[in-house]
Chains A and B, each alone.
Chain A
Amino acid sequence: MRTASEILAPAGNLEKLKVAVLYGADAVYIGGQKYGLREASENFTYDEIREGVEFAHQHQSKVFVVLNGFLHDSDLETLPEFLSFLENVGVDAVIVSDLGVIATVRKFSNLEIHLSTQASCLNVEAAKFWKDQGVKRVVLGREVSIPEAALIKRESGLEVELFIHGSMCMAYSGNCVISNYTQGRDSNRGGCAHSCRFGYEIELNDDQKKISAYFMSSKDLEGIRLIPDFVEANIDSLKVEGRMKSAHYAGTVSKVYREAMDFYIEHGHLLTDKIYEWEKELRKISHREYTQASLLTPAGADSIYDEREHEDKEYQVVGVVQETVPGEFCLIEVRAAFCPGDTLELMPWKGDCVDKELDFVRDFADRPVPKSRPGTLVKIPWMQGAEPYNLIRRKCP
């Protein structure tokens, strides 16, 4: 009997956590205010972590907390207190890349430890080393293929996790310090300035000519068609990158990969027209061109994203449902402007989206709103099946 691999989604804040869980993620990974790699993102306070864990557990999902910076001694001083908090609230695992942090976690808690991809674990021997350090799961480097991951799992006896979707660091993770030297920001403690996405003028020594190119930026990973390979290889967890990305992203990737995984487990194949629908959905969220990168064979020249950074997305979320009064209205928090008469799409937890033409848009004091403003609350006609945290979106103009 086939066992589904875990779908592990990113959650940059509490709303995204709830969205990811409700749309089908088996687990989410989040960051506290310190110790992670996303200093610019919102991250979770103590109470938010507690609330997030309770919410996820109520919905049979797990919460992993990232502590994956290459921490300095001063960072470690306050870590034990945070660890005992995480243990008390029932966090399911911590994701760590630094051996000092691993040792601290083991000394001060019984938390399960997952090795972050930041440690670039690439082979069986390396996995055995980390196993000896008390790690239960390794998030393998993005350079590792599915067959290699299967072998690492078999030979090391560890759980393995591979990335299945999202932006990719071009460097071996943990092996890029461009920001440290050029921007004064430690990329291994959350300060990456994404210098690999810049346009460069390149002079090759023997070529005499200058070339302008985006030569060190990676396309985004998309592994949906490889779900059969992941499952048959017994890969324990499939991770989606993107704690900094939107609720639309967290919701869509959770929903799409959940549906595809469930389909494969039920039918033993992905030979269905739905695959086109799922791929279409993954084009509706912000993304660069997609690649399977190194999931089957080492990433080649076609994995380089040679364009200027720009948002490629077909759909935008215009609101998140906050409350519903059946038969009357949905109260939504507006994320992008829309007007009465527009047709919006409700993204339910499962299944196809539902279109609705708006007969009215009113503010919360019930006055008509000719054009909604982002960051405000409005009432729109009730939509069958709408629930708090459902996303409402429309095609980009």
Chain B
Amino acid sequence: MKYITPVFDVHQFNLAYQEGVREFLIAPTKLSRFGKLELREASDFALSIKEKNDVTVVLEWDALYCQNKFSQLINELKSFNFEVFDEIRVQDPGVFGWVLKNLNQPIQLNLETGNHNLEAIKNWASYGKKRISRLILSPELPGNIITEYRKNLDVPFELMGIGRILLFYTPRELLSPLSNDKREVLEGSASSEESPHSGFQLLQNEHGTFMFNPKDQSLLDQIDAVEMAGVAHLRLDLRFHDYQSLFPFVMSALQSGKTDDLKSNWPVKFFAGFFRVNKTDALFKKLKNRKIVRQDQNYLGVVLDVIKKETMGIKLKTRELGLSAGDTIEIHTPEGRVKKQKIDQLFNSKGESISNATAGQIVFMKHIGGVSIRSSVYKSQQA
């Protein structure tokens, strides 16, 4: 397993280098969501790192831009020294397209937002042709799926091994209206009684406002499984924490396989991520009453009203199926009961007896015991 880590100064770089890391992310403020370096500083820093000739320096360019900002930025970048970077990491398809056309470096493509199927990932990769040197996969992908992807793609994969989990990104400034502080970067935390979690970290900078999960992601307990799944690169993202004091714990956990010290020193709790399992669609079933979801076959319509023990009105909805006196219908109630009944007589809204009715009409008939409003009506195949 190879490691990559964002660094912002030479001390962080020296520490990580001594610990054996050879790949570094450089994040300029203008280009990276969480960048802290001016463009000039970033390229100078990259140049200084490259004095060690066994390192790879990667430019992080993952902010999102609307057209006006993007064209301004491209103008500013005319004087930026891209050459000092070995690879460019991009996320927005606009930036991806621009880098493909205007630069020559290999591209690390960040697919952390969505991209939960092989077809998507394959198509992103093939658009970059031979330029794609790495795919950064979504932290929501479970290990067994990544294993499958590995068999189908020959581009190396990266996952975030440890770091803050980004939950929300808006270009709007949400913190400055709450404060008199006029600084460009504001930080804080938020909790809500309406949420089962508390202590969401907040950050506002020139790209907008970000909210993070209260717990950080750590795959360090599952590192063997991560490697087995075919992940070649692990991102050790300590940019929001005290790098100097915590990085040694991270490396020692990776070397020893023991994470106790790391956990007790890390400022927040860890979340093991979705690597073992992702069940974020399991609750969908509960979001609607499946009993009243219309099944198409033989569907006639819906019970609009009921006068118990007397009459009920049905709106016929299916064009192909009419209803005639003598037909047998099956009614599925919202509570899940099924009632079957032969219809002797049908009436229209004026109370006149009719022999049949078609889609769009409302027909009335004798109430069938137990049938309530919103029940679905089907034509029965056998009497």
Contact = CB atoms under 8 A, between A and B. Distances in A.
A374 to B, nearest CB: 10
Interface stretch (A232-240, A278-286, A297-305, A337-345): A297-305
Contact of A202 (B70, B202, B279): B202
A225 to B, nearest CB: 21
Nearest to B177: A301
Given A47-B296, A122-B64, A151-B67, A204 B115 contact: no
A209 to B, nearest CB: 10
A144 B67 contact: yes
Interface stretch (A19-27, A129-137, A269-277, A346-354): A129-137
A127 B92 CA distance: 11
Interface stretch (A2-10, A171-179, A310-318): A171-179
B177 A186 contact: no
A128 interface: yes
Given A40-B288, A202-B178, A202-B188, A322 B97 contact: no
B75 interface: no
A127 B70 CA distance: 13
B294 A45 contact: yes
B98 interface: yes
Interface residues of A, number: 105
B92 A126 contact: yes
Contact of A204 (B114, B168, B178, B351): B178
Contact of B115 (A98, A128, A375): A98
A16 interface: no
A178 B92 contact: no
A132 B127 CA distance: 9
Given A51-B317, A99-B123, A216 B360 contact: no
A377 B314 CA distance: 10
Interface in B36-87: 64-68, 70
Interface size on B, as a range, is: 35 or more
B172 to A, nearest CB: 5
A188 B140 CA distance: 12
A365 interface: yes
Contacts of A104: 119
Contacts of B127: 129, 132-133
Contacts of A102: 123
B293 interface: yes
Nearest to A182: B197
B313 A216 contact: no
B4 to A, nearest CB: 22
A161 interface: no
B195 A198 contact: yes
Contacts of A71: 116-117
8 contacts: A42-B288, A122-B66, A180-B280, A181-B165, A182-B197, A185-B283, A191-B284, A301-B177
Given A123-B94, A182-B213, A333-B304, 16 more contacts: A47-B299, A51-B318, A70-B116, A72-B116, A98-B114, A98-B120, A122-B70, A126-B92, A170-B172, A171-B168, A176-B169, A201-B192, A202-B175, A204-B186, A213-B178, A304-B172
